[in-house]
């Protein structure tokens, strides 16, 4: 009988347990399993379990398409970037994969950045460029989608991202915009191009909660929001100017001109993401407002907005009516008042004409239309009366005033004045 002292016996138990644990841990991994190391929960160095060991992947030909597959395999919705040259830190041990997955028709962006560059395509064993003949936004849409982006920002031509070298694979590309691959588009492999005509694209991802205006124009349209990987509309229940204010500010405008309901900009399609939105008007994002994700709406109730941006030197009348009020001017990104020192009818004449009226009826002083708040932008304004803008008049931006000296005006149109005189 083999008799061991307690320490030796305990050591054997520990050694046997360690072997069993290591075997069990290895058994919990499967061939081809991926993990992210030395980053965080959503980014890191790619490692793959292969032949019973973890190892890294070489960055040769590593691009956004490869990153897209990795992210999807790890359970994410999309890739934000493909990093190389040990961006996250160098690994140790085996390098399992190199020259990952270059396939016929694969695309890459060169001489730009992670989201924009010269378009190159892998055909017949070689990378080559695409000629910009007939290259437009529909072609860029297909390229960006094939690369895993959400949309294109622009189709760029004439070697915008510098000239490529080697083969020019495609010319006269004509996509409808719905194709899943550039090779699915009409094209020719014969070309009459030089690399000075290499085509490029600029792409982007959509962010959760991002907004866009549809079926209107650059400043107005149906409100659509990107949630859970899809664009959808907003129902107009409880929709008002405070909600529109938040939408316009989030989109980069200065203010809302109107909140529209009943599919004013035509009915959308697909999902309706939000209902019963209630904003105070000060929120920085529509998702910061109170809302419901369950709805009883149809697209005939899609909400819309009209927005506007302020121009430097723009004027407005406050605390009066449509033709009269305290004069406020937009400067350096903020509205402010005008001090009444030296304020007279010539100054009022310029204000009224800048606001689109025909003439001034009066120049008002000592906060006639109540005191404003915030900045006092101008003082000692002296206009001749012929200037087209208040900023064209002599003035100073240094003042010794309080808001009890805020200047105001009364304006009128010629036809209104004539009508009153004839009455």
Show the domains of the chain with their CATH numbers.
34-97 (3.10.250.10), 107-204 (3.10.250.10), 211-308 (3.10.250.10), 315-418 (3.10.250.10)
**pTM of structure:** 0.48
pLDDT of res. 51: 76
Query: By C-alpha distance, which of 73, 204, 185 is closest to 147?
Result: 204
Residue 33 class from Cβ within 10 Å (0-12 exposed, 13-18 middle, 19+ buried)?
A: middle
Q: Are 17 and 9 in contact (CB under 8 A)?
A: no
pLDDT of res. 340: 97
pLDDT of res. 262: 96
CA distances (Å), origin 103, targets 122, 174, 227, 257, 320: 7, 22, 32, 51, 69
Query: By C-alpha distance, which of 113, 125, 264, 279 is closest to 203?
Result: 113
> How many CA atoms are closer than 13 Å to the CA of 166, on its beta-carbon side?
12
pLDDT (tens digit, 0 to 9) for every residue of the chain, 423 residues total?
334 344 443 333 333 344 333 344 445 677 778 899 888 888 888 988 877 888 888 877 777 778 878 887 888 877 777 776 666 667 777 666 554 556 789 999 999 888 889 999 999 888 999 999 999 989 999 999 999 887 777 788 887 889 999 999 999 999 998 898 999 999 999 999 999 999 999 887 788 899 999 999 888 999 999 998 789 999 999 999 999 999 999 999 988 989 999 999 999 999 999 999 999 999 999 999 999 999 999 999 999 999 988 888 999 999 999 999 999 999 988 899 999 999 999 999 999 999 999 999 999 999 999 999 999 999 999 999 999 999 999 999 999 999 999 999 999 987 554 444 433
Query: By C-alpha distance, which of 120, 102, 232, 109 is closest to 170?
Result: 120
Q: Write out the E strands in 348-392.
A: 359-364, 375-382
pLDDT of res. 416: 52
pLDDT of res. 243: 97
pLDDT of res. 114: 81
pLDDT of res. 257: 87
> 205: part of which helix (H) or strand (E)?
none
Residue 246 class from Cβ within 10 Å (0-12 exposed, 13-18 middle, 19+ buried)?
A: buried
pLDDT of res. 95: 66
């Amino acid at each position: 009988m083999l008799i061991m002292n307690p320490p030796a016996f305990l050591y054997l138990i520990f050694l046997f347990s360690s072997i069993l644990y290591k075997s069990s841990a290895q058994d919990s991994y499967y061939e081809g399993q991926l993990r992210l190391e030395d980053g965080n929960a959503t980014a890191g160095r790619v490692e793959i379990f292969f032949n019973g060991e973890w190892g890294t992947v070489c960055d040769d030909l590593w691009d956004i398409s490869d990153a897209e597959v990795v992210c999807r395999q790890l359970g994410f919705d999309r890739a934000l970037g493909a990093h190389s040259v040990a961006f996250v830190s160098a690994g140790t041990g085996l390098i399992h994969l190199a020259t990952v997955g270059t396939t016929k028709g694969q695309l890459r962006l060169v001489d730009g950045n992670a989201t924009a560059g010269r378009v190159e395509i892998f055909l017949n064993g070689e990378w080559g460029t695409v000629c910009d003949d007939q290259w437009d936004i529909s072609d860029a849409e297909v390229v960006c989608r094939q690369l895993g982006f959400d949309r294109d920002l622009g189709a760029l031509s004439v070697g915008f991202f510098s000239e490529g070298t080697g083969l020019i694979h495609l010319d006269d590309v004509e996509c409808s915009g719905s194709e899943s691959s550039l090779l699915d588009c009409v094209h020719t492999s014969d070309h009459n191009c030089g690399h000075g005509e290499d085509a490029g694209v600029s792409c982007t991802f959509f962010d959760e909660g991002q907004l866009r205006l549809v079926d209107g124009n650059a400043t107005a349209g149906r409100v659509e929001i990107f949630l859970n990987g899809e664009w959808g509309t907003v129902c107009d229940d409880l929709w008002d100017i405070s909600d529109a204010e938040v939408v316009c500010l989030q989109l980069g405008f200065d203010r809302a001109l109107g909140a529209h309901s009943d599919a004013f900009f035509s009915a959308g399609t697909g999902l309706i993401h939000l209902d019963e939105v209630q904003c105070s008007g000060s929120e920085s994002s529509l998702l910061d407002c109170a809302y419901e994700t369950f709805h009883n709406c149809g697209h005939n109730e899609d909400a819309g907005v009209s927005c506007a941006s302020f121009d430097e030197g723009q004027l407005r009348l406050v605390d009066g009516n449509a033709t009269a009020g305290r004069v406020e001017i937009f400067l350096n990104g903020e509205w402010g008042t005008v001090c009444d020192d030296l304020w007279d009818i010539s100054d009022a004449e310029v204000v009224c004409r800048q606001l689109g009226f025909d003439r001034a009826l009066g120049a008002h002083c000592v906060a006639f239309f109540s005191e404003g708040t915030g900045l006092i932008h101008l003082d000692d304004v002296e206009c001749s009366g012929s200037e087209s803008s208040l900023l064209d008049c002599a003035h100073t931006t240094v003042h010794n005033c309080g808001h009890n000296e805020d200047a105001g005006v009364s304006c009128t149109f010629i036809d209104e004045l004539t009508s009153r005189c004839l009455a």
